[in-house]
Amino acid sequence: MKKFIFLLFLFGCGAIEPKSAKIVLLTPPSVPKELAYIVATYLEEAKNYGLDNTTYYAITEIKWGNAEAIAKQVGVVGVCEPGYERVDDSEGGYWKRRITIDERLKDYRVLKAVVYHELGHCVHNAQHSADDENIMYPLVSSKFVASEGRWAYYKNKMFDYIKNGGQTYGSLTYCLDNQGDL
State mean pLDDT over 116-131: 92
Give per-residue pLDDT as tens, 39-61.
Answer: 999 999 999 999 999 888 889 89
Q: What is the pLDDT of residue 26?
A: 53
Starting at the edge strand found earlier in the chain, the sheet holding 139-140 runs 59-65, 94-102, 76-87, 173-177, 139-140
Q: What is the pLDDT of residue 14?
A: 28
Q: What is the pLDDT of residue 11?
A: 26
Give the H or E element holding residue 82: strand 76-87
DSSP state, 134?
Answer: S
pLDDT, the chain, mean: 77
Q: What is the pLDDT of residue 165?
A: 85
> Above 60 in pLDDT, residue 24?
no
Q: How far apart are CA 109 and CA 16, in angstroms?
A: 24
Q: What is the pLDDT of residue 148?
A: 75
> Above 80 in pLDDT, residue 10?
no
Q: How far apart are CA 41 and CA 146, in angstroms?
A: 20
Q: What is the pLDDT of residue 167?
A: 59
Give per-residue pLDDT as tens, 73-85.
Answer: 999 999 998 777 7
Q: What is the pLDDT of residue 69?
A: 92
State mean pLDDT over 2-12: 28
**Residue in 154, 76, 157 with CA at minimum distance from that of residue 118:** 76
pTM of the model: 0.76
List the chain domain ranges. Answer: 2-177
